[in-house]
Amino acid sequence: MTSSTRKGQTDALNLRARVGLRGGRGKWLIPPWIAPAFILCALVLTPWTAFLFFTLPRHYVANHWQLAWGGFDIGLGLALAATAVTVARRSPFAEVTAAVTGTLLVCDAWFDVLTARATGDIVQAALEAAFVELPLAALCFWMATNLAHAVEVARPFLRAAGFTVENNRLVPPGS
């Protein structure tokens, strides 16, 4: 193997910067405090969730039930439309909209199945989850992951060609 081949393989393997350091020239792509803050939130959420499991009533009648579900479905519809538009326009925001849409689809499947009462409702919710919502969510997560990977792969080539990022915009060389 030649040294240029080894270097190419090394470059291909080292596309990611160290965690929290994915910025250039002293600017952070993501501030370093974000990851510890999210870990703290997850740690606080764990005992809170246990508390809720043991203290919430088994049966609860909710006010505005129709508005809650209708509003959620409107939000899901907007997320699906935003994903379609950003993917069609090849927008850099497609990764985000796909991830949000996938998350909303998983939440929709979860609550549809767990809030169904009658056997027919449970079967319908489970079938919708298995054949519509969860496969669409998987597709959304696949798109988000592939888009993120494409950006990581393209970044060193863009930098080598002289492109820079200013104010979240890709700036061609000489601009």
Prediction pTM value: 0.71
Tell me, yes or no, whether 150 lies in a domain: yes
Tell me, yes or no, whether 160 lies in a domain: yes
- Distances from the Cα of 68 to the Cαs of 74, 93, 111, 143, 159, in angstroms? 10, 27, 12, 28, 47
Tell me, yes or no, whether 15 lies in a domain: no
Both tokens assigned to 33: 């405090």
Tell me, yes or no, whether 114 lies in a domain: yes
Tell me, yes or no, whether 9 lies in a domain: no
Q: Provide block-wise average pLDDT over 10 residues at a time, the chain (175 residues).
A: 45 43 53 80 90 86 88 95 91 91 97 93 96 96 89 85 80 85
Question: What is the pLDDT, as a whole number, of residue 20?
Answer: 44
Tell me, yes or no, whether 52 lies in a domain: no
Both tokens assigned to 142: 């696949």
Domain count, the chain: 1
Closest CA to 109 of 81, 72, 155, 162: 72
Question: What is the pLDDT, as a whole number, of residue 6?
Answer: 45
**In sequence order, which residues have a C-beta less than 8 Å from that of residue 45 and are 6 or more positions away?**
none
Rounded CA-CA distance 172/170 in Å is 7
Tell me, yes or no, whether 58 lies in a domain: no
Question: What is the pLDDT, as a whole number, of residue 15?
Answer: 40
Element (H, E) at 121: helix 119-128
Show the domain range for 110.
Answer: 64-175
Tell me, yes or no, whether 96 lies in a domain: yes
- How many CB atoms within 10 Å of residue 100? 19
Question: What is the pLDDT, as a whole number, of residue 111?
Answer: 94
